[in-house]
Every structure is written in structure tokens, then in C-alpha cells.
Amino acid sequence: TMLRQVVGEVLGIEYDQIDMQTWSTDALPTDGGVGGARVTNTAGNAALQASQQVKTRLSEFLAERHGWSVEAIVFRDGQVMHGNEAMTLAQAMQSFGTEIAVQHTHVAQPASDDTVFTAQAAEVEVDEETGAIRLHRMTTVHDVATILSPINHQGQIEGALVQGVGYALMEELVYEDGFVTNAHLGDYKLPTMRDIPTLNTVLVRSEHDGPTPFGGKGIGEHAISGVAPAIVNAILDATGESFRELPVTAEKVYRRLHER
């Protein structure tokens, strides 16, 4: 979706009008896969610059054919416009007479201003009799720039919250004699809807754009980075006890509170 959105933004058409074809991995060099919030940066910038090349070639053709100024040509809402004159993008391509094929390789370079900041806070309630922890509310604040897909962006944040809650309070692999003894969902606890707190998301537009197309920044890994620390620090504030092993379960809290 992201790659089609980038191309659609440049060419002035809806992303669902773009057909993206994937290549066989047999025909491509070895790659480490998707991760590290790098796909939008690398593949996104390649798509951005390739689509800009298509736009430039078509604009130059139309300018020569119709006597238009290249700088005044606008691609918007599925149309190519120049002042009061307009045609659909499909008509423009038909007049070009053949497909425009381009290829662009983008090599991402690290930059000092690519840092993304996150602040997260948790509100918890701890039952001193049982050690049970109830997570009431999470506030998560993110340093952002241009957001390509608001729905997917928020989905990343909410997914990170759910994973972070499991990491902090319940998910634990138990080993015995080299074997995992809780390898099914009856014993390996995962967050359910009842475990998910009220979420307050705050997006702060920073002064510096990120490295992705149109100046965006990543929202993948860093959205989960502060969830568990925020929850554990909230438990410390409520009980006076600092826990240094995850998950912080009711049993661990109970033992700590009744040992002192």
C-alpha cells in the first residue's frame, strides 16, 4: 500500500489504480528482509524517484506537443492540467503512444537527523492482597513528520502497545531440560481485549523531516520500546518495588509485597 501511495501521490491518481507486481526472489540479490523501519526509506524512495522520472518524461512530451510549460503542468485527481487545459492521465499516456519504463535504485545513507523520539506513560492499579496488576491507561507520544498512511501509522502504534503489554505483564517462555514447557496458548498467556488499556496517542510534528518519501519518519520498532519500561515504572510508583525481570506477573508482585 505504501509504495502505491507514493506513486499515486506523484502521478496524481488514487493508489488503488496502481498495480504493483512483485518479483520472484530467485531473480533478486539476497536481502535481509523487511525490518528496521527501512522499507519506506529504501523502497519508498526508489518508487518516489522512479515515478518522478515517469512524470518528467510525460511532462516534457506534453510540453513539446502542446506548447506547454513543463513547470506549469500539474498532475492531480487523475488529470494532467496546464492552466485551463486538462486531459486524463490515461489520455496523456495514449498520446505518448507507448509505455514509459524506468528503473531506479535507491541506496539509503545514514544521517544524523534520522533519530526518532518516543515518550510513553502508563497508569496502573496494583492489588496489594493478590498482586494483580490492572493497566488502566497508556499515553504514547511520537515524534513524526509526514504521515503517508494515518490508519496504518496508528495501527503500528496500537499493535506495538498490545505487544508491549504482553512483554511486560504476561508473555514468558518456560524451559525445562532444554524444552519449552508452555508451548501452547493454554499456558502461554497473550493479551486479550480485556487486557488492553485506554490508549491516548499524541503525535508531535518535529522541525526536521525524516528520510522517507515526503519527509516521513519510521513508526515500527520504536513504538514498542517504551511500553514495558513505562508499565514497570508505574508499578514501582504504586508499590515501591522495582522489578528487573519480565514479565511482571501477579505472582511476582505478591511475593515481593509479602516478603517485606
End-to-end alpha carbon distance in the chain: 54
Distances (CA, A) of 32 to 25, 202, 245: 12, 32, 31
Choose the catalytic residue: 221, 241, 245, 251: 221
Give the separation between CA 114 and CA 130, rounded to whole angstroms: 45
Question: Are the C-beta atoms of 148 and 2 separated by less than 8 Å?
Answer: yes
Distance CA 27, CA 25 (A): 5
Task: Name the nearest CA neighbour of 219 among 168, 146, 164, 122.
Answer: 146
Which amino acid does the sequence have at 181? T
The phi, psi pair for 199, rounded to 5°, reads -115, 125
9 in active site: no
Q: What cell was used for 105?
A: 535504485
Please give the positions annotated as active site: 221
